[in-house]
Amino acid sequence: MQAEPLSTDLLIVGAGLAGLTAASHLDDGRSITILDKGRSVGGRLATRRIGDAVLDHGAQFFTVRSDSFRAAVDRWILDGVVEEWCRGFDEADGYPRYRTAGGMNRLAKHVAAHLTDRVTIHTSHRVERIAPGAAGWSVEAAGQRWLADDVLVTSPVPQTVEMLTAGGIGVPDSVASLQYHAVVGLLATLDRSPGLPSPGAIQQPHDPEFTFIADNQAKGISPTPAITFHGAHAWSAAVYDRPDDELLSVLLDRAAPYLGDAEIVEAQVKKWRYTGPVTPHPDRTVVIADEPGRLALAGDAFGGPKVEGAFLSGLAAATSLH
């Protein structure tokens, strides 16, 4: 038998940067519940440990273009969480690329840690259904049900459509039609530095195999040699459903020219089915219902991709839900 429903003023689906940013700007006395299917907050602000090595395997860095994101980044720098990595990979272009000390996931944990005790975060909670009811929005996840006055959904759009459709909620075509790039990646620990050119990364957006390669030790987040490879979008989409052991063999062969004299100690395949929108929605947030309360959508598919896009989308959603 399902337990009695829990009540919350606002329920947020997704504890990535968009959801955490919205929560931080709405943490004004109302009760907020955040549900995320992952084992940790962060979404694509993802960091993995393999032995002593630390590897960023989602977002690798971020840049700043807007005043509002600049204000947040300046605070994070003062907090000792964020620091400049470089100002370009092939050649300097004047735009700082920022890393998070200890790995990108630490930024999400930092934002989450500064929320008040009015905010409750549940990880390993996959939302299955969102439906309107007489007492507000009904949200079901992990065998539990919540009743919320307002709901913000920041998960990838295909997952959002599933949970809304299950509750009988229509999604505008402009949202439902959004498509995502997939990425297949390789994470590897090494016996020595691979000797990538300074600052320890190669960015090649038009390469048919690897679009980004990062030496996590040279980046300053890993105490031991470890390298991250991101596969090109077209190649990743073509091979995404192949077994990991088969992909690992292919990836190791393709990675060999980038390793110099280093040898691989341990390697893992990492897959991101929804790594970013092919074409973002033009608006930073979309409110798709006002009754029985507001139901809004946000995330890096809205208004612009990447880390800054997720932040700005969460900020816009917070404004719409005030």
Domain check: are 294 and 217 in the same one?
no
Q: Which residues of 160-193 are buried (b: 16+ CB within 10 A; e: fewer)?
A: bbebbeebebebeeebeebebbbbbbbbbbbeeb
Q: Which domain holds residue 246?
A: 180-278
Q: Is residue 173 part of a domain?
A: yes
Question: 247 and 300: one domain?
Answer: no
User: Do the domain assignments include residue 262?
Assistant: yes
Q: What is the mean pLDDT of residues 237-257?
A: 97
Report which of 256, 198, 267 is spatially closest to residue 226, judged by C-alpha positions: 267
The verdict on 254 and 299 lying in the same domain is no
Answer yes or no: do 210 and 271 share one domain: yes
Residue 20 lies inside a defined structural domain of this protein: yes
Residues 259 and 305 in one domain: no
> Could you tell me if 24 and 156 lie in one domain?
yes
Residue 240 and residue 255 in one domain? yes
210 and 136, same structural domain?
no
Q: Determine the pLDDT at residue 305.
A: 85
Q: What is the model's pLDDT at position 1?
A: 42
pLDDT digits (tens, 9 = 90+) for 259-289: 999 999 999 999 999 999 999 999 999 999 9
In this predicted structure, what is the pLDDT of residue 90?
Answer: 82
Residue 246 is assigned to a structural domain of this protein: yes
The pLDDT score that the predictor gives to residue 92 is 77
Instruction: Check pLDDT > 90 for residue 103.
Output: yes
pLDDT of residue 40 exceeding 70, the answer is yes
Specify if 49 maps to a domain. Answer: no
Q: CATH number for the domain including 200? A: 3.90.660.10
Give me the pLDDT at residue 93, please.
86
User: Is the pLDDT at 3 greater than 80, yes or no?
Assistant: no
Give me the CATH number covering residue 132. Answer: 3.50.50.60
* One domain for residues 121 and 191: no
Amino acid identity of residue 1, one-letter, is M
56 assigned to some structural domain: no
Q: Is residue 217 part of a domain?
A: yes
Structural domain contains residue 310: yes
| pTM score of the predicted model | 0.96
Are residues 23 and 136 both part of a single domain? yes
Cα–Cα distances (Å) from 32 to 40, 107, 115, 152, 288, in that order, read 18, 20, 10, 11, 20
- How many domains does the structure of the chain reveal? 2
Summarised one tens digit per residue, pLDDT across range 145-173 is: 999 999 999 999 999 999 999 999 999 99
Answer yes or no: do 128 and 225 share one domain: no
Residue 2 confidence (pLDDT): 59
Residues 273 and 293 in one domain: no
Query: Given this model, what pLDDT does residue 75 score?
Result: 98
pLDDT of 91 > 90? The answer is no
